[in-house]
Structure 1
Amino acid sequence: MRAIRPLLYLALAVPSAAFADDIPLTSRVAAVTLYPEGATIRRAVPFDVPAGQHDLILIDLPQDTDLASVRASVTGAEMGGVTTRRTAQPPRSETQSAAIEAARDEVERRERALEAARADIARLRLAVDAANAQTAFLAQLGQGDGIAAQDVSALRDMAQMIGEQTLAARQAAHDAARAATEAERALEDQIEALEEARQTLAALVPEDEDRAMLAVSITALDQTSGTLSVTYNTWNAGWSPVYDMTLTRETGALTIERGAYLRQSTGENWRDVALTLSTVRPSGQTRPSEIGPLLRRIGPPPELMRKEALGAQMESMAMSDVAAPAPRVVTANAQFDGLSVTYDYAPPVSVATGADALRIALGTLETQAKIEARAVPLYDSSAFLMAAFTNDTGELILPGQTHHYLDGTYVGQSQTPLLAAGQESEASFGPIEGLRLTRTTLDREEGGSGIIRKSNDLSEIARIEVENLTEETWPLRILDRVPYSQQEALTIDWQAEPRPTETDVDGQTGVLAWEFDIAPGETRDLTLEYGMQWPEDQVLQ
C-alpha cells in the first residue's frame, strides 16, 4: 500500500476535495457484542469519494484498541490494504456536547466566584487588623509625657477625641469581623455549589483520551458512496448476570427475573448502540488440555536404608512423566447454537466509559419449587427455608449474583451456579427462627482397654432436640454426621434413634439425614452414638 501522507496534510484534508487522496472520517460505535470478559465492537461510517484511489482515515479509535484484531470491510468501492497506528496521530477536532461545555463553564464561573469571595474575606480581615491598630495607637496617645503639661480644657478635648476615635475604631473592627464571619459562612455554600458543578461535569464523562488511527485504502471507478465497517476486540468491557428470585410460600411458585450488568472502560462513551450479549468466553480456555504418556518402571526391592532416597527419586520421576492436571474448563451449555447463549437486546443502549454500570432486563422465568425446612444442628441453632426446583424453563441459567425474596420481602443474596435445562437445584430463603435446634454431647469417653493396653478407643453420645415454636407444621430435614474409616485397623460403629431416613447423603460417607413433619409446639429428640477403636501404637488423626 502507498505510504500515508504527512500528518499535517492528513489533518487539513477534506472529503469534498475533487481529487483528494486522503478522506478523514468521523466514526462512532454502532454495535457491540459483549462477553463476560471482553467485547467485539463494530463501527460503521458512510463516505462519499470521487473516482480514484483514496485512503479512508479514522483517527477516533480508542487508544488501547487491540489493533491486531482490527478487521475492516467496505461497500461501494474496492478495498486495498489496512494500516493502523497508535502513536504520532494527526490532531483530532474535539466535538464537545453542549451539556459538557455548559458544565465546564459553570465550574469555571463557580471557581471565579469562590476566589472573589475569599479575596473579600481577606480584605475584611485587613480592616479588622487596621481598626485594632488604631485602637492601640489611641491608647498609647493618652499616656505620653506631655499630657501632664496640658491645661484642663486641652485634656478634656483630647480625652473626648481619644474616646470617640477609639469607639469608632472598635465599632469598625466589630463590623468588619462580623462581615468576615458572615462571608465565611456564605463561602461554605459556594464551596458546596462548586463541588456540585464539578460532579455534574464528571457525570457527563467527557472523552479526552488519546486515540489510535486506522487507514483503509480503496479504489473507486466512479464517484461513489459507500460504508466503511470496522470491527475489533477489547478486554475493557463485559457483562455479568444478576437475578431476583422470588418464592411464594403459599403456592410454591418460584419466579426468576433475569438481568445483566454492563460495564465498559474503553475510553469512549457508547451512545445508542445495538447490543448483543454472549456467553462465549474468549479469555478462557479455547482448546482441550494435552495429555502425555505415563511411564512406570519395576526393579528389585530397595534396601531398607535406601527407602527414603528412593521415595524421593520416584516422586521426582512421577512429576516429570505425568502431565500437569488440566485447569477447570468453564463450559457454555447449548441454548441456541449448541455452543453458546446469546441475547439480543432490542432497544439501543448508552454506557459511559469508566462510569456507568447499566442494568438491563432479560425476561422472567417461572417454575415450581418444593419447600422444606433444613437444619444442621452441628453448626446452626435454627432451621432454614429451602426451595428445591428443577430448571424446567427450557433455558440456560447462567452463573450470577442472586437476590432472594420471600413473599416479596428481601432475605439475602447468594451466587447461583450454572444450571442447564432440566438440571435440579435449590435455593435458600433465610432462617426460620421459630424452628430451634439444640445439639448436646451427653457422654464422651476416651481411653484404653485391658490391663496391658492393646488398643485405644473413643466414643460419643449426642442428643439433638428440635422445637417448633411457629404456628404451622413444617416438613423438616435434619443433617448430621458420624466419622467413617477406610482402614481395617480403625473400626467405627454407630447407631441412632430413630434411624435416619437416608445415609451417605449425596454420596458423602457418614452424612445422615432425618425427614419428618413437625407440628406447631411439638418437640422431637434424636440420639446419635458412635464408637471408634484403633491399635495402641497408632494415633487418631
Structure 2
Amino acid sequence: MTPTCLKGEPVRRTLLALAIATIPGLGSAAGLASSIGAVTVYQDRAVVTRAASSELAAGEHELVLDKLPASLQENSLQVSARSTGQATLLDVKVRDAYQADTPNDRVKQLEAQLRGLEGRQAALDDEAAVLDNQRELVLMMQRGATEPAKDGARPTLDELKAIQSLSADTLGRTLAGLRRTAEQKADLDREIAAVQSQLGQLQNAQGRRSKTVTVRVSLARAGKLDLNLSYAVAGARWTPAYDARLRLADRGVDLGYFGVIRQNTGEDWNNVKLTLSTARPALGGGAPALQPWIVDVAAPPPPPPAPRPAAAPSAKPQAEAVAERRARYSPSLADAASATPEPAPQDIELSTAQVQNEATSASFQIKNPATLLSDNASQRVAIATARLPATLQYQSTPALRPAVYLTAQASNNTDYPLLPGPLNTFLDDAFVASGTLKAVMPGEKVELAMGADDGISIERQLVNRYTESTGFSGGGKRVTYEYRITVKNNKTTKERVSFKDRLPVSRNEKIVVKLLSPADREIKREDDGRLVWDWELEPGKSRETVLKFSIDHPGDIEVSGL
C-alpha cells in the first residue's frame, strides 16, 4: 500500500485497513497512551475505537499502543489520523505480547482482593491453632490434677473445685473462640470461591497475552498527530429486551426497547460513547453461492479382494515384519497423488459494521456515556420508547379453561425492526406476565398477551349427552352432545370477545360428524374442527350460545375418542 500523506487541514483520512503478521521485535519505539472513546456492539462482537495524541518532532517515529486485548481481530484493524506536521504513514504492525502483570484493571482488583482474603484466611488458621493449643493445655491441666504423680499428694476437694472452675471458664472461652473462627472461615471460604469464580470468567485461555500495535510515521516538520484506532473484538454481544405497558384509558401500548449487554473482551469500557447495532456482520456481505447438485448413475462397488494364502512362518526379525506390515497397509506416494485433493483454503470475508438496510437493521446510539467492565455481567441500557396504537380484544378457550384473556393487537409504527427477545407485559402499572416477542419488522402487526381479566366471565356447561339407534333396522348409532356457553361483560365499556371451541374430526368415512347448532353464519370455521365466535358485548350484558353436534357411525364398529 502506498503511504498516505497527512495534511494539516482537519480532514480525517483513512490511512490503513490492514493488519500485518506478527514480528519478533520493534526496536526503539515511543509508547503512546490511548483511551477508548466509542464502542459499537453487535450480536456477536464489538468494534472499539481508541484515540491518542502526541506532539512529535520532524523525522521518523514509531508509536506503540500496547496492552490491547488478545481477542483483537487483526484483519479488522483500521487506522485514521490527522496531523499538523505533514505526516506520512509508513506501516502498521501487530504482534502478540506477554506480560508479567495482567492488563485488565478488573482482574487486578480481583487478584488483590483474593490476596487479601487469603491473608485473612491464614490469620484465622493461626488463631485457630492457638485456640486449639489452649484447649489441649487445659485438658493436660485437668488430667494432671486428677492423676497426680506416684509419690505426690492428692489435691484437696477445694483445690479440685478451683481447678475445675478455672479450667471450665478457660475451656469455655477457648471452644467459643474455635466456633467463631470456624464460622468466619466458612464465610471466608465462600467469599474466596466467589472471587475465584469471577477470576475464572475473566481469565480465559489467553491468560496474560495481549496485542501491541505499532504505527510508524514520518513528519516533514514538527506538529501534533491525532491518531484513531478501531478494531473488532470477540467476547461482546447484546440482546434486546422489552417492556410493554398497556394504557387502558387511551387504548395504547407504551413499548420500552432495551439492550442487555455483556462483554468479556479483556478490556474495560469506561465512559464510552455506546452504539448498539442490529446488523449481523457474521452473515457476510452477500448470499452464499450454490454448488452444483450432481446426479449420476451409481458406480458398481469394487469386487472384494481375493483371499491371501496363509504365509508360511518365517524367521524374519520382528522389526522387519513390522516394517513389511506398514508398507502393505500404507498408501504409496502414487496413490496419495491420485487421491482427491482437499479444497484449497479461501480467504474469509471481511465483516463490516455498516447498516445493511434501513428496513431490516438499525443502529442505536446511547445518549449518555456508558461504562461496562470486562466481567461478563449483564447491563441493561434504554434504547428507545414508542407509543403503539392498539386494538383490544378478549380471547378465551372455555373448553380448556374458563378464563378470558386480554390481548392488544398493535402495529410496529417505528422505523426500526424489533428483534426477538424477552418481553415483560404490564397492565397500566401492574405486572401481568413474562413472554417472548417475535421478530417484528416496521409496519408489521404484533399481538401482546396481557393476561387473564376477570372483568369478562365465560362458562361452558355440558347440557346433554345421549346415544340413540338409527336406521330402519337399528344397525346404526348416534351420539349427540350439547353444550351451553355463556359470556358476560362486567365492565363499564363495550368490549369485543372472541372464543373458540371444537367439533370432533372424523378420520373414517363411516363416522359422520354433523353440526346442529349454531348456524354457520354465526361462527367461523377453522381447520381441524375449530369454531370461532366473535361477539361485541355491551356493558353489563351477557350472551349465550348452544354448541350441539352429533356423531353417526355403524353399530358394529367401536369408535375411539367419544
Would the TM-score normalized by the shorter structure come out above 0.5? yes
Structure 1 residues 6 and 341, CA, compared in 2 at 3 Å: closer, same or farther? closer
1:515 maps to a residue whose letter is D
Counterpart-to-counterpart distance in 1, 2:489 and 2:382: 40
Give 1:529's aligned residue: 549
Matched, 1:250 2:249: yes
The Cα offsets for residues 71-104 of structure 1, whole Å up to 9 and x where unpaired, read as 3334333223333233xx254766887x998886
Instruction: Indicate how the Cα distance of structure 1 residues 194 and 363 shifts in structure 2: closer, same or farther if over 3 A, else same.
Output: same
Partner of 1:211 in structure 2? 210
Deviations 1:414-459 (A, max 9, x none): 2122223332222111112462443649548799989999xx9996
Corresponding residue number in structure 1 for 2:176: 182
C-alpha distance after superposition, 1:278-305 (max 9, x if no partner): 11012247533666899999xxxxxxxx
Number of equivalences:
472
1:40, 1:231 within 8 Å by CA — same for their partners in 2? yes
Task: Quickly say closer, same or farther: Cα 1:4–1:360, change in 2 above 3 A.
Answer: closer
Determine if contact 2:359/2:441 at 8 Å carries over to the other structure: no
Of 166-175 and 338-347, more deviation after overlay is shown by: 166-175
Which one-letter code corresponds to 1:241 in the other structure?
Answer: P
- 2:378 aligned with 1:357: yes
- Corresponding position of 1:461: 481
Question: Is the CA contact (8 Å cut-off) linking 1:135 and 1:166 kept in structure 2?
Answer: no
One-letter amino acid matched to 1:23: A
Question: In 2, are the aligned partners of 1:366 and 1:393 still within 8 Å (CA)?
Answer: no
- From 390, 401, 408, the equivalent of 1:387 is 408
Query: 1:428, 1:439 → 2: CA distance?
Result: 26
CA distance in 2, matches of 1:109, 1:291: 60
2:60 to 49, 53, 65: 53
Counterpart of 1:438 in structure 2 is 460
Distance 1:62 1:440, change over 3 A: farther
Is the contact between residue 73 and residue 79 of structure 1 (CA under 8 Å) also seen in structure 2? no
* Cα deviations by residue, 1:444-497 (Å, 9 ceiling, x for unpaired): 8799989999xx999663525235484656431112344678999997654531
The yes-or-no answer on 1:376 pairing with 2:388 is: no
Q: Could you tell me how far apart the structure 2 residues matched to 1:3 and 1:295 are?
A: 40
Which residue in the other structure is 1:398 paired with? 419
What residue is the counterpart of 1:173 in the other structure?
A: 167
Instruction: Call closer, same or farther: CA 1:210–1:289 in 2, change over 3 Å.
Output: closer
Partner-residue secondary structure (3-state), 1:66: strand
Cα distance change of structure 1 residues 530 and 74 upon mapping to structure 2, 3 Å threshold: farther
Q: What TM-score, normalized to structure 1?
A: 0.71
Cα deviation 1:316-358 (Å, max 9, x = unaligned): xxxxxxxxxxxxxxxxxx9984552111122211111133322
Does structure 1 retain, via aligned residues, the 8 Å contact 2:64–2:215? yes
The one-letter amino acid paired with 1:438 is R
C-alpha offsets along residues 338-382 of structure 1, whole Å, 9 cap, x if unaligned? 552111122211111133322111232113322221012243331
**How many Å apart are 1:174 and its aligned residue?**
1.6
Distance 2:416 2:359 in 1: 12
Please name the residue that 1:323 is paired with: none
Contact 2:394–2:496, Cα closer than 8 Å, also in 1: yes
C-alpha distance in 2, partners of 1:43/1:255?
Answer: 37
CA shift, 1:531, in A, is 4.7
Unmatched segments (≥5 aa) in structure 1: 14-19, 148-157, 298-333
Could you tell me which amino acid in structure 2 is paired with residue 24 of structure 1?
G
Identify the residue that residue 422 of structure 1 maps to in structure 2: 443
Q: 1:501 to 1:415 in 2, by over 3 A?
A: farther
State the identity as a percent. Answer: 19
Q: Name the structure 2 match of 1:44.
A: 51
What's the counterpart of residue 85 of structure 1? 95
Distance (Å, rounded) in 2 between the aligned partners of 1:183 and 1:408: 52
Alignment partners' CA distance in 2, 1:293 and 1:91: 51
Please say if residues 243 and 400 of structure 1, whose CA atoms lie closer than 8 Å, have aligned partners that are also in contact: yes
The aligned residue for residue 535 of structure 2 is 516
Q: Distance in 2 between matches of 1:485 and 1:293?
A: 46
Structure 2: distance between partners of 1:352 and 1:100: 10
Give the match for residue 228 of structure 2: 229
Distance in 2 between residues matched to 1:62 and 1:384, nearest whole Å: 51
Q: How far off is 1:121 after superposition?
A: 3.6
Deviation at 1:135, TM superposition (A): 2.6
> Which letter maps to 1:183?
G
Q: How far apart are 1:185 and its partner, in Å? A: 5.0
Compared CA separation, residues 345 and 118, structure 1 to 2 (3 A): same
Name the Cα RMSD after superposition. 4.6
* 8 Å Cα contact 2:358/2:415 also seen in 1: no
AA aligned opposite 1:526: V
Q: Which moved more, 1:198-207 or 1:72-81?
A: 198-207
